[in-house]
Structure 1
Amino acid sequence: MTTPKLLAARAGVAERAVESRHLRRVWGVPGTALGAVGWPVDWAARLHVRFSYWWQAHLLDCVLDAQLRAPRPARLALVKRLVRGIRVRNLVGWTNDYYDDVAWLGLALLRAEREAGIGKPKAVAAITDRLRAGWTDHGGGGIWWKRNDDFKNVPANGPAAILFARLGTRADVGRARSVVDWIEDCLVDDETGLAWDGLHVHPDGSVREVEKNVYTYCQGVLLGACVELDSAHYRDTAARIVDAVDKHLATDGVLRGHGGGDGGLFGGILTRYLAQAALRLDRPQAARAADIVFSSAEAVWANRTAVVSGPLFGPEWTKPAVRPARGGPERDLSVQLGGWMALEAAALLERNGITPPRS
């Protein structure tokens, strides 16, 4: 049986491990920090040759989770350094050509303002303006995955919908509803209730091909948007997503993995929004969402391996992590952030009085 506060302690250990192994200044510039994309840190990672913009947005989100768990001035200072590091390394402003990247940073910056008092209103405005302009009628609606591309997908539209809903204006909430309704109409499998990845369109706007890959990421962001919209209709949709995840994407309550690279973040993203569903959804599925978070976090912890500065997590939470070989997924910052996110999600439930089921 898990004892009180143990989940928070585990999240704290994960936080210290990731920060000690991955955090580096950006090119020696004072007041900056970013996560090196791999560990052990080679010269390219130390110099942030590969940036992985959206990984940094999730690193910022994790630090904000930690600050809510155990507020400290040092964490607020780190939030400021990360925000400055992202801006310095991005070179050309706050945005890039990928709408999913931009949406994730917008969500993290909005949280930094509202939850930590560290505001970047011009950055949030630039990001939201970019996302608003990304909607077209091609393929029935939705926001592009990338500028000047032919693909629209859930990974871009889901976080954009969450951001629009959290902004809270009538127009932006309407945009959030339109995004979710488009996903539901065009990219949800009627048989399983799960969201597919996305669709390609012809220049005339007609659909050329639907990408029917199923990722935990897609379910997480669609669930998160439905929870934020918080009407009876979207709560019903959220409940369906939880049921579908439980049936098709979890083994004994543990979410399946998607390997290293970008896939290392997918399970963590889903646990983040399952935790929100557990706290805010007034449906029986709220309890099931909590159980999946707890089971996944327990598997993350049980299958860790010990390396310098603390635990190292694997990409498949049901399997023991291994010390990273050259190019192995355990070396990826994304994989470590995914595990940390799952532990923070469980700690969030713990401090809100939701406890794991007795074994």
Structure 2
Amino acid sequence: MKKMLLVMSIALIFSACSKIKDEYIDRSAKYAVNWITAADSGSNTLASIYWNTTGHHFNNDNLGTTVRNDYWPEAHGLDVLVDAYQRTKNDMYKQRIYDFYEGVKAKNGGSFYNNYYDDMGWHGMAHLRALEATGDVRYEASSKDLWQWITAGWNDADGGGIPWNHENTTAGKSKGMPSNGPAAIIAARRWQKYGAAEVINGHNDLEWLSKIYNWMKENCVVQQSGRVYEQLNDTKGDFTYDVGTFIGAAVEYYKITGNKVYLNDAIKSADWATSTLVNSNNKVLSDWAEQEDHDVNLFKGIFVRYFTQLIRTKDVPDMTRKRYINFLKNSGQILWTTGTAKTPVVLFGYHWWAAPIGGKAALRAELSGAMLMEAMALLKKEGYTD
């Protein structure tokens, strides 16, 4: 009897293990994604369905709506065009990058100048990338103009920092990560490109990087946890893009100096974000205020862009890198399998676990999804993931 019970127990254990194995195989098969195909589909949709062929800019959604000037999302659209062109060398993306310059400039009133320093920051980063990807010297001029306008916003209220816009220049008026995070990344990348030869508004780019980075770290980052606040005067606001640009700035500073203080800054904030700014049910990256056609829907894609740069940075511990890759892969798999409408065109949901309904997706959500797929395709190409 005991022998029979033992045999039955062993059989039950093997059966349970087999079920677990089968479920794992089924789950893996269900969520398997060809990242190259996914990136091609997302970026091609953005460059064709969302592109305004007359005005040479992006529409507000996939149905051709143009009711507002999406100045800052346009910059992220340019970033995705650069991603896709660098990955594929497809001349269609290069032509879009070329046409974007005059089209978006005209849409913005004949200049890339804007009243919001953070919005000019997104363009400053994207224009520099467009220059490096295509050699189009128009972007060299515009990226320098944008950088001059941004650094002119620095003032000594609150110990320094660049405000949100031109009206908010006094103490406690909306200084924080949105303007300073992109500015620090621009400073770092321009230093790496131009060195000490470039002096803007009284400082070279490394000096600007030091000023801006130190101000952010002191005023917007919780040193123990790595948490990053949206604004100096609001210590309750947490958004993925704020952490993303701080990570991006820290990574660039580390590239320049080799000082692991900056790499550790990036890792600490990445650890905080990947454990906190997620949906508790599926661990997918998420911002608390996501909703239909809202600015916040673009934030995740910005985080992904700079989080991916951290993954690709040398000296990141192997186990940490693997954990980050698995985190990003989970978001990508769930977005592609449950958060994407694939017919007649690829449309990404603003929640990455819920596909858009009604055949419509706003530009911001589409950009975030395309950024994630391009990031996964890049990691696949470089051998970081399968």
| Distance across 2 between alignment mates of 1:65 and 1:334 | 17
* Separation (CA, whole Å) in 2 of partners of 1:179 and 1:301: 37
Structure 2 distance, partners of 1:309, 1:228, is 40
Q: Deviations over 1:286-336 (max 9, x none)?
A: 33332222221112101234365422211111x3213148xxxx6310001
* Rounded Cα–Cα distance in structure 2 between residues aligned with 1:304 and 1:20: 21
**In structure 2, how many angstroms separate the alpha carbons of the residues matched to 1:14 and 1:247?**
27
Deviation at 1:21, TM superposition (A): 2.4
What's 2:151 paired with?
132
2:264 is aligned with 1:240: no
1:82 to 100, 112, 119: 100
Going from structure 1 to structure 2, the CA distance change for 1:275 and 1:115 (only over 3 Å counts) comes to same
Question: Contact conserved, 1:307 with 1:323, CA < 8 A, in 2?
Answer: no
Measure the CA separation in 2 of the matches of 1:142 and 1:313.
35
Q: Highest CA radius of gyration, 1 or 2? A: 2
| Partners of 1:162 and 1:136 in 2: CA distance | 19
State the match for 2:304 in structure 1: 271
Q: Could you tell me which of 194, 212, 215 is aligned with 2:236?
A: 212
Matches within 5 A, 1:37-52: 37-41=60-64, 45=65, 48-52=66-70
323, 328, 342: which is aligned to 2:357? 323
Answer yes or no: is the 8 Å Cα contact 1:5–1:350 preserved in 2.
no
Q: Any stretches of 5+ residues in structure 1 without a counterpart?
A: 200-208
Partner of 1:196: 229
Q: Could you tell me which residue of structure 2 aligns to residue 176 of structure 1?
A: 209
Distance in 2, matches of 1:7 and 1:82, equals: 26
* TM-aligned CA deviation for residue 5 of structure 1: 9.0
- By how many angstroms is 1:246 displaced? 1.9
Residue of structure 1 in register with 2:131 after alignment: 113
User: Aligned AA for 1:180?
Assistant: Y
Which of 138, 141, 149 is residue 122 of structure 1 equivalent to? 141
Aligned to 1:33: 56
Q: TM-score, normalised by structure 2?
A: 0.81
- After superposition, residues 301-312 of structure 1 pair within 5 angstroms as 301-306=336-341, 308-312=343-347
- Report if the CA contact (8 A) 1:109-1:119 is conserved: no
1:186-242 CA distance string (max 9 Å, x none): 11234642111112xxxxxxxxx3342000010000000111111311111011011
What's the secondary structure of 1:147's corresponding residue?
A: coil
1:61-100 superposed Cα distances (whole Å, 9 cap, x missing partner)? 0011001111122221111111221111111411100111
Q: Is the 8 A contact 1:194 1:244 kept in 2?
A: yes
Which consecutive residues of structure 2, in runs of 5 or more, have no partner in the other structure?
1-27, 197-203
* C-alpha spacing 1:305/1:187, structure 2 compared with 1 (3 Å): closer
Structure 1 length as normaliser, TM-score?
Answer: 0.87
Instruction: Work out whether residues 62 and 363 of structure 2, in 8 Å CA contact, stay in contact via their aligned partners in 1.
Output: yes
**SS of 2:312 mapped into structure 1:** helix
Q: In structure 1, what is the equivalent of residue 20 of structure 2?
A: none
- Provide the rounded CA distance (Å) in 2 between the counterparts of 1:112 and 1:83: 10
Q: Does residue 177 of structure 2 align to residue 154 of structure 1?
A: yes
State the match for 2:18 in structure 1: none
Structure with greater strand percent: 1
Q: CA deviation at 1:174?
A: 2.2
Aligned equivalents of 1:113 and 1:250: distance in 2?
34
Aligned residues: 332
The CA RMSD over aligned residues, in Å, is 2.1
AA partner of residue 175 (structure 2): K
